[in-house]
């Protein structure tokens, strides 16, 4: 336990110490998010927060020892996902290129680490779908956290809830490696949020890609190493960003629009409209996600209960979204 506490503080402390680096890089290379009709913020803001998260997470890993090849594969491909996000922050890749690179990284990780989803709790996947489905899940969650990065403290808060929940499940099952990685991410995100909540910096694609990839990879690692944990548990732990992503794709296709076209109709936009306050909107979203994560922890081995909870969450989140949409129309 002392080691776990220490690596949390190391990750948080290093993230805070990385602030000058993030500000220098952001200013030097003009990695700045400028306000427009789709953005919520009103002043130009650095989007190099991923540097803080990456620095705290990686240095925390380096001071820990005893990881085997599967875990080092996790570290390597986490770094590659961060680099991809940083490249996106600088040069703006097309959606197809971005998804292609994410898919390659997820595929290489899945094959190298030999970590893939086999049993979905309801039925077992056929052999030829194991790798493709795992890659799809990792890429999907990675992008879900990127899409959720629309308000200060939102994507990082969702990442913190997810990492903490995965850490609790890992602790219950005695999985020390997943527990360490989860705590490191919690620490790194905590250090980043000190600046993000003040509106000084955004996590950018580098931070959201890294957070989403780490959460999704840890989820796969947890259920493959601990078969008693239902795959629906990690799904509920990231349910809000996943719902928002899938709902946005469905909504855009139903309207005949490009599913990758950005808009201001995401779940956090609707909550902002509903509560007329960014802070309240973020708190409500995080509370809803925390409730789903709590259900995942309490019933982590009961697929039926978790599946019913997931269905309930779909209707509940859709109702919240529609409540905000009505205000937009009026």
CA atoms lying within 13 Å on the CB side of residue 164:
16
Residue 312 neighbours by CB under 8 Å, 6+ apart: none
pLDDT at 229: 95
pLDDT at 328: 62
Q: Domain of 193?
A: 2-329
Beta bridge partners, 201, equal 46
Mean pLDDT of all residues in the chain? 89
232 and 287 Cβ atoms separated by less than 8 Å: no
SS3 state of residue 245: helix
pLDDT at 44: 86
pLDDT, one tens digit per residue, over 146-180 is 998 888 899 999 999 999 999 999 999 999 989 99
Residue 216, both tokens = 């999704």
Beta strands (DSSP E) in the chain are 32-33, 45-46
Residue that wins the pLDDT comparison between 64 and 240: 240
189 and 53 Cβ atoms separated by less than 8 Å: yes
How many CB atoms neighbour CB 229 within 10 A?
23
Percent of the chain at pLDDT > 70 equals 93
Angle between helices 204-225 and 154-172 (to 10 degrees): 20
pLDDT at 145: 95
pLDDT at 209: 97
Q: Is the pLDDT of residue 218 over 70?
A: yes
Q: Is the pLDDT of residue 330 over 60?
A: no
pLDDT band at 39 (very low <50, low <70, confident <90, very high): low
Q: Is the pLDDT of residue 66 over 60?
A: no
From residue 20, give the alpha-carbon distance in Å to each of 28, 33, 50, 272.
12, 18, 13, 31
pLDDT, one tens digit per residue, over 265-302 is 888 888 888 888 888 999 999 999 999 999 999 999 99
Q: Is the pLDDT of residue 242 over 80?
A: yes
Quote the CA–CA distance of 43 and 120 in Å, as a whole number.
45
Q: Is 37 exposed, middle or buried (0-12, 13-18, 19+ CB in 10 A)?
A: exposed
Count structural domains, the chain.
1
């Amino acid at each position: 336990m002392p080691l776990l506490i220490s690596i949390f503080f190391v990750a948080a402390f290093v993230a805070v110490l990385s602030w000058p680096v993030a500000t220098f890089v952001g200013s030097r290379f003009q990695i700045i998010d400028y306000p427009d009709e789709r953005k919520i913020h009103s002043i130009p803001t650095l989007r190099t927060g991923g540097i803080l998260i990456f620095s705290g997470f990686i240095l925390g890993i380096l001071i820990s020892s005893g990881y085997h090849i599967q875990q080092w594969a996790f570290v390597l491909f986490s770094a590659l996902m961060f680099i991809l996000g940083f490249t996106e922050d600088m040069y703006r890749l097309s959606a197809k290129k971005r998804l292609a690179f994410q898919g390659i990284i997820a595929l290489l990780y899945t094959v190298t680490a030999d970590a893939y989803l086999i049993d979905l709790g309801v039925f077992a996947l056929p052999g030829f779908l194991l790798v493709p489905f795992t890659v799809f899940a990792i890429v999907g969650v990675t992008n879900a956290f990127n899409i959720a990065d629309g308000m200060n403290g939102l994507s990082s808060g969702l990442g913190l809830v997810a990492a903490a929940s995965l850490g609790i499940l890992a602790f219950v099952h005695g999985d020390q490696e997943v527990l360490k990685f989860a705590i490191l991410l919690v620490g790194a995100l905590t250090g980043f949020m000190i600046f993000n909540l003040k509106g000084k910096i955004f996590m950018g694609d580098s931070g959201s890609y890294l957070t989403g990839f780490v959460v999704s990879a840890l989820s796969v690692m947890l259920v493959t190493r601990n078969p008693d944990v239902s795959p629906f548990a990690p799904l509920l732990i990231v349910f809000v960003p996943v719902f928002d992503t899938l709902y946005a794709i469905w909504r855009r296709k139903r309207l005949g629009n490009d599913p990758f076209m950005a808009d201001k109709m995401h779940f956090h936009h609707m909550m902002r409209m509903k509560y007329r306050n960014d802070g309240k909107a973020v708190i409500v979203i995080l509370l809803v996600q925390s409730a789903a994560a709590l259900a995942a922890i309490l019933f982590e081995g009961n697929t039926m209960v978790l599946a019913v909870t997931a269905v309930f969450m779909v209707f509940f989140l859709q109702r919240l979204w529609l409540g905000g949409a009505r205000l937009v129309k009026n």
